[in-house]
């Protein structure tokens, strides 16, 4: 018998979770733009509501187009399942509220997307959930921040915007030693560059708005469960291991050895908070996922050329990209991210804020906006946009300076990107 093989990532990107439509024969994923789905009879209806049969009832809870995206993302990540959400923020929120309520505590990397920082630092405390932020490279700080109420450790695979590489195996080991799960935001890396479950993470989420969608056309999120964490052995997640009055007394862990987290997240969090993805959005994201391996390689190839150009340019004070030997996480990146360190990075322009302003306003191919992970190249000034709520001390702690410029490298001809940057750098240095 031939040696068995799993399908490769490129093939799963196109096929996982979808067969030709059994009714119409449609090869592409159809958009099931329907709020609800007809029951065969009353018994079928009751069985669907009571999780005796699998199927779709109402598109806030599940939808056939969304399910293709969810199963495909689970396959790409090597997880057991996924939930598509209205945004990356909704995915992060869903993960947190499935695991804890008031009194819960999170230990999080300090190098986070500004939106995630807002949620953890300002909004969740209003609901009784606190977060301790730690420098992601200081493993002892992760350990020291854990306290009896801690329910989750959280970081970004590549911290935004300084590109701190999260030592996923080391932080996962700390988490597991304390019987806690590790959640990672994998938006910047996608499963093409890193599969965090293979490194020890337990939960992964993406802002699918970015590289998964890839074209700047939809706001979307996805939360994936690796199915590895033993909630019962941890002994501190009654939401998953004790009867839930909100769903017929279901004990999710007892029902489903490896699916408790997602069952609770869908049956409670998606149902009650309602931050679901629209089927059309799922379809748009799927178009991106189908070409993810091709695009990510091109994103990385272009980024390497742009980084090389900037690192040698006299108007550039520093470039922060983990493939450069001077980056503090260079060795870690070589170990965890052998295919590349993504296509979002920052650099420090000489001349501070005025030079930065002239630089951005001279660019013609790069677009100045608040997004990353588009097919088109993008530029932004974090101190005045994504991280504007942070004071200078918090900015510095996150590795951001007043002259820091963040680029998201797209799929254009790299020569055109370099020419655009060269012209803008020349302009930036004119008084």
Q: What is the C-alpha to C-alpha distance for residues 48 and 431, in angstroms, rounded to an integer?
A: 68
Q: Which is nearer to another protein, 107 or 262 (CB)?
A: 262
- Is residue 311 close enough to count as binding another protein by CB under 8 A? no
Q: Which is nearer to another protein, 232 or 301 (CB)?
A: 232
- Is residue 8 close enough to count as binding another protein by CB under 8 A? no
What radius of gyration, in Å, describes the C-alpha atoms of the chain? 22
* Candidate segments 42-50, 103-111, 318-326, 371-379, binder of another protein by CB under 8 A: 42-50
* Candidate segments 126-134, 220-228, 273-281, 327-335, binder of another protein by CB under 8 A: 220-228
Q: Of these, 118, 132, 217, 228, which contacts another protein (CB under 8 A)?
A: 228
* Candidate segments 149-157, 167-175, 227-235, 397-405, binder of another protein by CB under 8 A: 227-235
- Is residue 17 close enough to count as binding another protein by CB under 8 A? yes
C-beta of 47: minimal distance to another protein in Å? 6
209 three-state secondary structure: coil
What residues numbered 387-406 form the site for another protein, per CB under 8 A?
Answer: none
Q: Of these, 10, 173, 230, 308, which contacts another protein (CB under 8 A)?
A: 230
Q: Name the CA dihedral angle for 276, 84, 378, 381, rounded to a multiple of 10 degrees.
A: 60
β pairing state of 150-156 and 182-185: parallel
155 three-state secondary structure: strand
Q: What is the C-alpha to C-alpha distance for residues 312 and 94, in angstroms, rounded to an integer?
A: 44
Token output for 147: 């306290």
Site string for another protein, 245-264 (x = CB under 8 A): ---xxx---xxxxxx--xx-
- Is residue 272 close enough to count as binding another protein by CB under 8 A? no
The residues, any chain, with a CB within 8 Å of residue 11's CB and separated by 6 or more, are none
What residues numbered 71-110 form the site for another protein, per CB under 8 A?
Answer: 71, 74-75, 78-84
* Candidate segments 123-131, 223-231, 295-303, 421-429, binder of another protein by CB under 8 A: 223-231
Q: Of these, 9, 45, 47, 423, which contacts another protein (CB under 8 A)?
A: 47
DSSP one-letter string for 249-303: TB-HHHH-TTTHHHHHIIIIIIHHH--BPPHHHHHHHHHHHHTHHHHHHHHHHHH
DSSP state of 36: B
- Is residue 271 close enough to count as binding another protein by CB under 8 A? no
Q: Which is nearer to another protein, 81 or 342 (CB)?
A: 81
Token output for 50: 């009571």
CB of 231 closer than 8 Å to CB of 238 = no
- Is residue 316 close enough to count as binding another protein by CB under 8 A? no
Secondary structure element (H or E) that encloses residue 307, with its range: helix 292-311
CB of 239 closer than 8 Å to CB of 68 = no
C-beta of 209: minimal distance to another protein in Å? 19
Residues near another protein, by CB under 8 A: 1, 4-7, 12, 15-19, 22, 46-47, 50-56, 62-64, 66-68, 70-71, 74-75, 78-84, 226-228, 230, 248-250, 254-259, 262-263, 266
């Amino acid at each position: 018998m031939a040696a068995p093989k799993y399908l490769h990532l490129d093939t799963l990107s196109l096929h996982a979770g979808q067969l030709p439509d059994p009714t119409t024969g449609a090869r592409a994923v159809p958009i099931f733009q329907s709020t609800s789905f007809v029951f065969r009879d009353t018994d079928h209806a009751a069985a669907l509501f009571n999780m005796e049969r699998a199927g779709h009832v109402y598109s806030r809870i599940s939808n056939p187009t969304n399910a293709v995206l969810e199963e495909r993302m689970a396959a790409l990540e090597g997880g057991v399942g996924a939930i598509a959400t209205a945004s990356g923020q909704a995915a992060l929120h869903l993960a947190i509220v499935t695991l804890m309520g008031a009194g819960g505590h999170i230990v999080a990397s300090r190098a986070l997307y500004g939106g995630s920082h807002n949620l953890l630092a300002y909004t969740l405390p209003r609901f009784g959930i606190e977060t301790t932020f730690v420098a992601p490279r200081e493993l002892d700080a992760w350990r020291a921040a854990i306290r009896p109420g801690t329910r989750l450790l959280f970081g970004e695979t590549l911290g935004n915007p300084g590109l701190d590489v999260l030592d996923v195996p080391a932080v996962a080991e700390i988490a597991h030693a304390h019987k806690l799960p590790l959640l990672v935001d994998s938006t910047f890396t996608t499963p093409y560059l890193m599969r965090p479950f293979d490194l020890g993470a337990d939960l992964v989420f993406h802002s699918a708005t970015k590289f998964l969608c890839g074209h700047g056309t939809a706001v979307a999120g996805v939360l994936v469960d690796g199915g590895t964490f033993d909630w019962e052995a941890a002994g501190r997640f009654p939401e998953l291991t004790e009867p839930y009055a909100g769903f017929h007394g279901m004990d999710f862990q007892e029902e489903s050895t490896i699916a408790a987290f997602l069952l609770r997240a869908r049956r409670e969090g998606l149902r009650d908070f309602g931050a679901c993805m629209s089927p059309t959005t799922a379809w748009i994201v799927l178009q991106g996922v189908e070409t993810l391996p091709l695009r990510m390689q091109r994103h990385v190839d272009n980024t390497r050329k742009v980084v090389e150009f900037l690192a040698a340019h006299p108007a550039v004070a520093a470039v922060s990209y983990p493939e450069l030997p001077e980056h503090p996480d260079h060795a870690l990146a070589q170990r965890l991210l052998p295919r590349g360190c993504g296509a979002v990075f920052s650099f420090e322009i000489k001349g501070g804020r005025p030079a930065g302003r002239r630089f951005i306003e001279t660019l013609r191919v790069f677009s100045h906006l608040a997004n990353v992970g588009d097919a088109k190249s993008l530029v932004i000034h974090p101190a005045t946009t994504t991280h504007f709520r942070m004071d200078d001390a918090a900015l510095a702690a996150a590795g951001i300076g007043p002259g820091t410029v963040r680029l998201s490298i797209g799929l254009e001809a790299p020569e055109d990107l370099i020419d655009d940057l060269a012209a803008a750098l020349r302009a930036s240095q004119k008084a």
